[in-house]
Each structure stands twice: as C-alpha cells, then as structure tokens.
C-alpha cells in the first residue's frame, strides 16, 4: 500500500514537474516554425507563460505574407491528458469579407486522451455557431452550423442535410 | 519537525527532488537540442509606395509657339455629344463622352463643344451653354440624342454601346486607341468579387527555388472582360501602377487598394518583350 502511495506521489510530482518546467515559449516558437513551412506566420504583441498555459495577446496572422486576421487573445492550455486552444475575438481582414465570415467571437479546440484521435471544435461569431470535430484517424473535418446567420459567402463550400448546413473536408 | 527529518522521509524527499531535477534536465536538453530560442516574426513590408502619375511626353517636339488667343465662336450641337458612362459620387461627377469619334472624360465644370458639364443623374448628364440647360441621355446613339426640351426616356434595349446597370458584372471595356476605358461598375464588380476574377482569368505564382519571382497569367477566358484587357496566357505581370508585383502581399495590397484607382498602368512581360498596358476607369 505504501508502495502504491509513493508511486502515486512520484507520478503526480513528475506530472506537475513536466508541466511546470515545460519550456512553453520555446515550444510555441517550434509551432511557429512548423506553421511557417506552410507560409503561415503569427506576430504576437504579448506572451505570458502560466503554469499550465501560454497566453498570447494581439496576434496578427499572415498567410503568404498577407495580413489575413487579427486575434485579440489566444490561450494554449495543457494538462497533457487534456489540451485546448482558445481563440477570442478573431477579426478577418476587411478585404476577405466576401469570402469568409468577418468575426469569430470565440473558438475552442479541445483534445482529450479519452478520445485521443479526435479534436472537438466549438465556435461562435457573425456566422452563428459551429460545433464539430476533427477526426485525426480518418483525417476529416466535420463542422455543423447551428443557428447559421450570415453564411451566404460560405454556402458554396457547405452541404445541407436535415439538420442544416455543414462543412466537411479531408486533409 | 522531528518526524520530517526521519531518514525514510528525507530519502523520499530527496528522491522527489532528484526526479524534478531529472525532468528539468530533460526539458533543458530538449530546449537546447530541438527547440528554437526565438520566434518567427513577420516583417511587414513598409516600403514607401512611389507616387504614381501618368504623364504623356511628346519627344523631339519644339515648344508650341505662343499664339494670342482669340475668342473662337464655338459652333456645335449637343447632338454631337454621346454620353457613354457616368460616375456619380457625392463629391465628384465624372462622365465619359464620345465627341467627333474621340472618347473624352469630363468632370463637373469641363467644357466640350462649348457645352459645360453641370451635373449628372443615374442615366443622364446635364450641360449648359449660354444659360440654357441641355440634357443628354446615357448610351443614346447620336441621331437619337435629344436636349432637355424634348425629354424622352431612353429605351433599355437601345444602345450599340455598353450598358452598365445590372448588379451582375455589367459594363464594357472600350478601346480608346492608346488606352482602354474600363467601365467603373464592371471594375467595382471584380474588385468586390474575387471569385469572379478566378473564373475568368488564371494567375499562378512563378517561383525560383523557394523564392516567389512573380505571377503569370495561366489562362484568360474567351469573351470575358479580361480578354478585352489585352492580356494573354503566359504574360508575366511585372507591375501595376508602378508597384512591383513580386510578393503575395504586394499583389493583395494592390487588390485591396485598386478600388480607388482612376487609371491603371500594367507592365507585363510577353515573351522577351516588356509591354505597358494602360487603362482608364470611369
């Protein structure tokens, strides 16, 4: 019993140690490097490292050198067995308004070890709200548009079933 | 306190400290070996955009002799003026007219054939001469043009010239010899609907290794307004209004600001030849 107790303490301490000592900024720089390979660059004004999270403020998103969006706040959070990325107040560039919704108030992508091959997505904005998932095994994205509002510009990319409009793609 | 310093408790504490040290050391190694120490900042292009003017110079021509201006009696009729296009904003009125088989762009106060442009409505322009007002309807052929004294509605199906009224990509591109005149409504339509551009013209990137060299026209749909611009398949776009188009950012910035343009000078490379194409938007 004592052995189990000690192991459990060691496990919790190791888990906490991994999270606390994790070089979050440097891991984010690595993520930036990977994104840059796909010509996506992120410029952030402020970066705050927390115990379990990394918080970015005033992030400008560039794709192929073009300023496509600005994000008020991005929060990257991990407990190893559960991770999430939360985006607050994403505004697309004005010139893209004919192609994509202008505002995303909040978008959250969550991953849990309980369903390790799936990332759940939840977003709300000028288009209404989206709930969906990314299937990492089948490499598919499925997003359901609930309370769809201004999605006229997206409709050519959307499909419709009895539940309403949805977006599906594979990668 | 006494309990804390028990050899067994101390051993456990040391073990945990060593465990934490090992974790820290592993992260340190990962950081040193695989992780970058600084982020990738995108440096926005802050290049100063050259002022763009279109100037026509007449080389080797002696300065015109100064001739004393004598009042010339203008003999002309309002019927000689054909109204081709109207651009009417709150602060500016610009029209395109055809006079003696030549296209001219007039703004409020400009004179043609002795008639001064006073203003314009949605489908007509008003001129004044000797305190009389004349109205010229849009796209009326010369022989049908009437003055205000005989106001007659212009039939929608009449013109031999282009009409730019519907919300679709309506409007025409008129060849004016050394340059082409693009109807403002047609221009605005494409400036606001990027998808419609790609249906009619294909533009692909040209790379040298990893670096973007420029953009090449991969196709131009026959019969589309783009075909009338004078660009062809395989033309390389060098610059627009003096702005080199050598990055996505430059191309996108041009697209973003193009709505304010009143004229465009497109420099293309066709084969080994560099060509300048000029357009007027009204």
Q: Would the CB atoms of A30 and B23 count as touching at under 8 Å?
A: no
pLDDT score, position B76: 67
Structure ipTM: 0.84
Cα distance between residue A109 and residue A121, in whole Å: 5
Strand B132-137 relative to strand B173-175: parallel, antiparallel, unpaired?
Answer: unpaired
* pLDDT at site A41: 93
Q: Does B252 touch chain A (CB under 8 A)?
A: yes
Task: Please write the tens of the pLDDT for every residue from A108-150.
Answer: 999 999 999 999 999 999 888 999 999 999 999 999 998 777 7
Mutate to test the interface with B, among A8, A9, A13, A17 (most CBs of B within 10 A): A17
Helix A2-21 / helix B7-33 crossing angle, nearest 10 deg: 30
B193 closest CB neighbour out of A10, A62, A98 = A98
B47 touches chain A (CB under 8 A): no
B192 has a pLDDT exceeding 80: no
**Average pLDDT rounded to a whole number, residues B129-136:** 78
pLDDT band, very low/low/confident/very high, at B125 (cuts 50, 70, 90): confident
B56's CB contacts (< 8 A; 6+ apart) are none
* Range of weakest confidence among B171-180, B234-243, B260-269: B171-180
Q: What is the pLDDT of residue A91?
A: 94
Q: Distance between CA atoms of B244 and B275, rounded to whole angstroms?
A: 14
Percent of chain A residues past pLDDT 70, beyond the cut: 100
Among B15, B27, B37, beta carbon nearest to A21: B27
Would you list the domain boundaries of chain A? 23-72, 79-171
Tokens for B40? 């990738």
Q: How far is B33 from chain A (nearest CA, A)?
A: 11
Domains in chain B, please, with CATH?
78-150 (2.30.30.830), 173-281 (2.30.42.10)
**B133 Cβ neighbours under 8 A, 6+ residues apart:** B118, B126, B127, B148
Do B281 and B264 form a contact (C-beta atoms < 8 A)?
yes
Q: Which residues of B touch A10 (CB under 8 A)?
A: 15-16, 19
Answer whether A17 sits within 8 Å of B30, measured CB to CB: no
Are B78 and B137 in contact, with CB atoms under 8 Å apart? Answer: no
CB < 8 Å to A6, chain B = 12
Written as six digits, the tokens of B145 are 């043009």
Q: Do B249 and A66 touch (CB under 8 A)?
A: yes
Compute the count of residue pairs across chains A and B with CB atoms less than 8 Å apart: 79
CA A7 to chain centre: 34
Contact B42 A62 (CB under 8 A): yes
């Amino acid at each position: 019993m004592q052995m189990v107790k000690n192991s459990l303490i060691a496990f919790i301490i190791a888990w906490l140690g991994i999270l606390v000592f994790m070089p979050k900024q440097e891991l984010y720089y690595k993520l930036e490097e990977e994104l840059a390979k796909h010509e996506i660059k992120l410029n952030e004004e402020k970066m705050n490292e927390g115990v379990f999270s990394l918080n970015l403020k005033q992030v400008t998103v560039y794709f192929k050198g073009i300023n496509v969006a600005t994000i008020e706040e991005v929060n990257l959070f991990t407990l190893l067995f559960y991770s999430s990325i939360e985006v607050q107040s994403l505004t697309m560039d004005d010139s893209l308004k004919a192609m994509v919704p202008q505002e995303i108030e909040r978008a959250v992508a969550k991953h849990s070890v309980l369903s390790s091959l799936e990332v759940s997505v939840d977003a709300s904005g000028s288009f209404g709200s989206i709930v969906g998932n990314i299937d990492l095994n089948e490499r598919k994205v499925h997003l359901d548009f609930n309370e769809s509002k201004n999605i006229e510009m997206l409709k050519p990319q959307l499909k419709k079933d009895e539940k309403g409009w949805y977006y599906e793609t594979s990668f | 306190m006494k309990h804390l310093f028990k050899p067994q408790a101390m051993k456990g504490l040391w073990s945990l400290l060593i465990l934490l040290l090992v974790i820290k050391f592993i992260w340190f190694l990962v950081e040193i070996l695989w992780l970058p120490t600084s982020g990738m900042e995108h440096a926005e292009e802050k290049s100063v955009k050259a002022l763009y003017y279109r100037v026509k110079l007449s080389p080797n021509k002696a300065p015109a002799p100064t001739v004393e201006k004598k009042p010339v009696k203008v003999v002309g009729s309002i019927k000689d003026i054909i109204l081709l296009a109207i651009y009417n904003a709150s602060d500016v009125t610009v029209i395109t007219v055809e006079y003696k088989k030549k296209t001219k762009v007039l703004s409020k106060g400009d004179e043609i054939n002795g008639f001064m442009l006073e203003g314009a409505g949605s489908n007509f322009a008003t001129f004044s001469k000797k305190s009389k007002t004349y109205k010229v309807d849009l796209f009326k052929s010369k022989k049908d043009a009437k003055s205000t004294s005989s106001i007659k509605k212009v039939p929608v199906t009449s013109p031999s010239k282009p009409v730019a009224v519907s919300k679709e990509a309506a409007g025409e591109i008129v060849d004016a010899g050394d340059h082409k005149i693009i109807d403002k409504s047609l221009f605005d339509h494409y400036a606001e609907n990027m998808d419609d551009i790609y249906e009619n013209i294909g533009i692909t990137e040209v790379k040298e290794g990893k670096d973007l060299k420029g953009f090449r026209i991969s196709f131009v749909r026959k019969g589309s307004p783009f075909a009338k611009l004078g660009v062809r398949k395989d033309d390389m776009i060098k610059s627009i209004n003096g702005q080199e188009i050598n990055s996505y950012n430059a191309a996108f910035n041009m697209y973003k600001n193009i709505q304010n343009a009143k004229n465009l000078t497109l420099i293309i490379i066709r084969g080994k030849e560099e060509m300048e194409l000029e357009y007027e938007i009204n």
